[in-house]
Amino acid sequence: MSPVTASVPDAVYEILVSDYHKTYPITWEDFSSIIKYKLLSEDRNLLNGYVDMSGDLADRIKKNSIYACTMEELALRLKT
């Protein structure tokens, strides 16, 4: 964890050290409901405005977000 010390305040580092493996590690699946909500609530044109987001990818996200239960499943559904 030492490379982290240069990137976070001391208080944050202390929390990371004391709580590591108790409530950590955090994975992207922990944010899946928030991400899914955002993807489903965004208009296709707004999604298309994100960096590296093509219209085709925005359409696939809108279509597949409904059916994917996890972020990993969504990522697999989005692969071409």
What contacts 13, CB < 8 A, 6 or more positions away? 1, 4, 5
**What are the phi and psi torsion angles at 67 (to 5°)?**
-95, -25
pLDDT digits (tens, 9 = 90+) for 9-65: 998 888 888 877 777 677 888 888 888 898 889 888 899 888 888 999 999 999 998
pLDDT at 1 over 60: no
The domains of the chain are located at 2-78
Q: What is residue 59's predicted lDDT score, i.e. its pLDDT?
A: 92
Global confidence as pTM:
0.59
Contact (CB, 8 A) for 78 and 64:
yes
